[in-house]
Amino acid sequence: MSAPVPVVDCDVHCVPASIEALFPYLDEHWVGFIANGMLGMPAALGAMYPPGAATSATAEARAASGPPGTSLDAVREQVLDRHGVDVAVLSCITGFDAIRNTYYGGDLLRAVNDWQAAEWLDRDPRLRGSIVVPPLDPEAAVREIRRLEDDPRFVRVLLPVRADAPYGNRRYHAIYAAAAERGLAIALHAWGLSGAQPTPNGFSEHYIEDYVAHTIIAQGHLTSLVVEGVFQRFGDLRVSLLECGSTWLPAYLWRLDKDWKGIRREVPWVDRRPSELLREHLRVSVAPLHAPADLEQLDELMATLDWPELLMFASDHPHDHGDGAARFLARLSGEQRAAVMGGNAAAHYRLGAVVGGRGD
Amino acid sequence: MSPHALIDCDVHSNIPPAELARRLPARWRRVVEDFGLRAVKSNAYVPTRPRAAASRTDTWPPGGGAPGSDMPFVREQLLDRWGVDVAILNPIDALDYAAQVPALSEHLFRALNDWTREAWLDADPRFRSTMTVPFEYGSMAVREIERLASDDRFVSVMLVVAPREPLGHRRYWDVYEAAAGLDLPVVVHVGGIGNSTVTGAGWYSFYFEDHMAGAHAMATQLMSLVCQGVFDRFPTLKVVLEEGGLAWAPPLMWALDSAWSQLRHEVPHLDRRPSEIVREHFWFTTQPIDEPDDPAHMVTVLEHLGMHDRIMFATDYPHWDFDAPDHALPRGLPEDVRRAIFAGNAADLFGLTR
């Protein structure tokens, strides 16, 4: 008989079934606009998770009542109970952060936070929340973080990787200061501003390109966080990377350390190898995990990095990214698996003594 | 079997302003003198590079001029010093020329190619060059490719990693058709004129980020070329990715294959796994070589890439991140693979058999 191992799911999606679901939490001014203007959930949402794309939802999630990601019962049955999850952290991706009218978008995001607390966090003690904020309006983001500071169930601030500027930029530092003050992590998540090109070279033509582009865009943000000195300035800040893949990490970190050797004179405050800084501050979700089909190659890949210290388990409910993560997790030893399934996230989000829910 | 031992696939020449001016028609010479070349890319980005011209401090020619501008000095400092059998030029000025208005762009590229021929190819038989062409304007680019086609010392056609549109876009297909028709590989080099930043998420602050992102931009162009059906339309097209590294390629291929298995009905022109298309159509140059702490990991990466016959050595002379032939490749590579990377693969691709 072994001690119960905590299971933490670091990326479970929830989304309002319709914009009307937010009305109880939204100023009447906007409710009137939405009704009169026939405004709905933003087009950006459908562009991020097209209902017909296989990646947008598992067959099981599609079979649940309502659009995928809208049902707490489905989350309980398909995620929490099934995997013996002790804590699941919600990521509420709506596309509201892509709205250029930040007065409207910012208020919608605030409503989403209140909706998230009332409709999800209040209804299941295993759930934790992400504060959603408008990256286009850092002042409003800081206000929102402070407004929720008495609710410890919010464990991180969610920022979309498609942004107007890389996340090391000084415009965001006030957000990090507010997060660090409260012990919140920052989570960079796939998708975001549909008005910003999703690739380094312009707008792409296919969804499949946008879908894979997150594995590339994420790397620019990490570089930015390192070279702008964010980790020197906010020594306590922890960064999660969600739904952007992970198997690009070895090649990326090699290049980052190499460039630091060559060009660090430009950024003298970066006083350690960047890979060390990121190992200390960064944790990465396992969904999606793009692995080679060949088992021997998978083992070789696993030998190229200290993955068990960096990765956090995620179901990414209701999304379906194939079997890469499951194949990878199956190759871990018992101790490594325990770290990835819960230990890493428990420390990263400072969840305290997470009660083991699966022990016998 | 290649008769050569060392082929350098990325050497930058740099045309002296007077050499350019005297090859331009009077009207365009005056425009260049009075207004300079314009940047399409925002000039808000100022690379705070630690080295002038991004170059090694010892590459400034003793007689004056910029690094790469003095052929005899390059011959001595690179070819003779390292025993380079063949050096393929990527004239650095080409990175900016495509940003100019069409007529000027055409004249600039033509002048550059003529200078390359006279000052380099005619002067030493070890030099080859890429064709620099006004790739943003398809019919003009095709005209320049055809003008140079009979000179087999021009061994490829040059594109940049940051053009106006992703490289899969149809505006570049005339270039691909002409290159494929002449069996000339297209080389995609870091740099360019794009309106866009290379991060995919807005403007960055540092040269460090720009340098890092060369690999990201290259990865994105690979994805664009594959996903937008370029190889479906031009099944013999060969593409060389230069100065973007290569260790990122295996994970990108896994990601693309995984995405394709779920999303393939969106891209019906992809009739097989994207990784198969990559292995059929792409080549890589080595510089800046990826450097894991444990060189064995680089050997692993090359095995996962599975393209030993598609990797070609490059120094990037005269730039600061020059890869020296005696240091660059990881320990532990089989000897025949090393030889192929140093010369055989490039000899096969570019037809350097003599």
Q: In which band, very low, low, confident or very high, does the pLDDT at A358 lie, cut at 50, 70 and 90?
A: very low
pLDDT digits (tens, 9 = 90+) for A285-313: 999 999 999 999 999 999 999 999 999 99
Closest CB from B167, B255, B261 relative to A212: B255
Cβ B197–A223 below 8 Å, yes or no? no
Short-list B282, B286, B213, CA closest to B253: B282
Running DSSP on this structure, what letter comes out for residue A14? -
Q: How confident is the model at residue A107 (pLDDT cuts 50, 70, 90)?
A: very high
pLDDT for A357 equals 42
Q: Is residue A261 part of a domain?
A: yes
Residue whose structure tokens are 């680089």: B298
Is residue A14, in this structure, part of any structural domain at all? Answer: yes
pLDDT of res. B95: 87
Q: How far apart are CA A99 and CA A108, in angstroms?
A: 10
Looking at beta carbons, which residues of chain B come within 8 Å of A251?
Answer: 215, 245, 247-248, 251, 290, 301
Instruction: Answer whether residue A116 is part of any domain.
Output: yes
Residue A15 belongs to a domain with what CATH number? Answer: 3.20.20.140
Tell me the shortest Cα–Cα distance from A124 to chain B, in angstroms. 33
pLDDT tens by residue, B117-162: 999 999 999 999 999 999 999 999 999 999 999 999 999 999 999 8
What residue of A is the nearest CA neighbor of B208?
A263
Three-state DSSP at A185 gives strand
How far apart (Å, rounded) are the C-alpha atoms in residues B144 and B166? 22
Contacts of B191 (CB under 8 A, 6+ apart): B95, B160, B161, B162
- The reply to whether residue B196 touches residue A320, judged by beta carbons under 8 angstroms, is no
Nearest Cα residue to A26 out of A84, A105, A134:
A105
Q: Hey, of A201, A284, A289, A316, which one would you mutate to test binding to chain B, going by the most B CBs within 10 A of its CB? A: A201
Q: How many CB pairs under 8 A join A and B?
A: 235
Instruction: Tell me whether 0.90 is exceeded by the ipTM.
Output: yes
Instruction: Please compute the mean of the pLDDT values over residues A166-171 and round it to a whole number.
Output: 96
* Residue labelled with tokens 């960096």: A310
Nearest to B221 among A167, A201, A324 (CB): A201
User: Is some CB atom of chain A closer than 8 A to the CB atom of B290?
Assistant: yes
Mean pLDDT (whole number) for A158-178: 96
C-beta separation of A201 from A173 below 8 A = no
Contact criterion met (CB < 8 Å) for B320 and A320: no
**CB half-sphere exposure, B6, CA atoms < 13 A:** 15
Both tokens of residue B203?
């403007």
User: pTM higher than 0.90, yes or no?
Assistant: yes
**Distances in whole angstroms, Cα of residue A125 to Cα of each of A120, A129, A182, A344:** 9, 11, 21, 20
Name all domains of chain B by residue range, CATH numbers in brackets: 7-42+52-350 (3.20.20.140)
| Within-domain flag for A355 | no
The full DSSP string for B169-205 is: SGGGHHHHHHHHHTTPPEEEEEEE--SS-SSSSS--S
pLDDT for A1 = 41
* pLDDT per residue as tens digits for the range A258-268: 999 999 999 99
Number of domains making up chain A: 1
> Based on the number of CB atoms within 10 Å of its own CB, is A123 exposed (0-12), middle (13-18) or buried (19 or more)?
exposed
B327-330 long-range contacts, Cβ below 8 Å, gap at least 24? Answer: B328/B286, B328/B287, B328/B289, B329/B286, B329/B289, B330/B289, B330/B295, B330/B296, B330/B298, B330/B299
Closest residue in B to A255 (Cα) is B290
| Range A171-184 burial, b when 16+ CB lie within 10 A, else e | ebbebbebbbebeb
Specify if A360 maps to a domain: no
Supply B334's token pair: 């089989």
* pLDDT for res A346: 97
pLDDT band at residue A359 using 50, 70 and 90 as cut-offs: very low
What local confidence, expressed as pLDDT, does residue A201 receive?
Answer: 72
Cα B142 from Cα B132, distance rounded (Å): 11
pLDDT of residue A197: 75
Asked if residue A9 has pLDDT above 60, the reply is yes
What's the farthest any 2 CA atoms get from each other in chain A?
A: 62
| Residue where the block lists tokens 């490719």 | B145
Output the tens digit of pLDDT for each of chain B's 354 residues.
578 999 999 999 999 999 999 999 999 999 999 999 887 655 666 778 878 889 999 999 999 999 999 999 999 999 999 999 999 999 999 988 988 999 999 999 999 999 999 999 999 999 999 999 999 999 999 999 999 999 999 999 999 998 888 999 999 999 999 999 999 999 999 987 665 666 677 888 899 998 999 999 999 999 999 999 999 999 999 999 999 999 999 999 999 999 999 999 999 999 999 999 999 999 999 999 999 999 999 999 999 999 999 999 999 999 999 999 999 999 999 999 999 999 999 999 999 976
**Integer Cα distance of A13 and A39 in angstroms:** 23
Interchain pair B213, A55: CB under 8 A: no
The C-alpha of A220 sits at a distance from chain B's nearest C-alpha, in angstroms, of 5
The number of C-alpha atoms within 13 Å of B147 and in the hemisphere containing its C-beta is 18
Query: From B200, which residue of chain A is nearest by alpha-carbon distance?
Result: A200
- Does the pLDDT of residue A119 top 90, yes or no? yes
Question: Which tens digits make up the pLDDT trace of A179-216?
Answer: 999 999 999 999 997 777 777 677 888 999 999 999 99
DSSP assignment of A46-96: HHHS-TTSGGG--HHHHHSSSSTT--HHHHIIIIITTTT-SEEEEE---SG
Please check whether residue A3 lies inside any domain of the structure: no
Residue holding tokens 């896994």?
B254
CA distances from residue B227 to A192, A207, A330, B264 in whole angstroms, order as listed:
22, 10, 31, 10
What pLDDT score was predicted for residue B51? 84
In a domain, A353, yes or no: no
pLDDT at A148 over 50: yes
Q: Say what the alpha-carbon torsion angle A342, A345, A347, A348 is, to the nearest 10 degrees.
A: 170
Q: What are phi and psi of B315, to 5 degrees?
A: -100, -30
What residues does A311 pair with on adjacent strands?
A284
Q: Which two tokens stand for residue A113?
A: 């936070």
Of B320, B312, B296, B332, the residue nearest B185 (C-alpha): B312
Chain B residues within 8 A of A211 when measuring between CB atoms: 259, 263
Parallel, antiparallel, or unpaired for β B282-285 and B239-242?
parallel
Q: Does A242 fall in a domain?
A: yes
Structure confidence at residue A360 as a pLDDT band (50, 70, 90): very low
The range of the structural domain enclosing residue A250 comes to 8-348
Give B128: exposed, middle or buried? Use CB within 10 Å, 0-12, 13-18, 19+: buried
Which DSSP letter does residue B77 get? I
Over 80: is that where the pLDDT of A332 sits? yes
Tokens 């602050």 appear where? B205
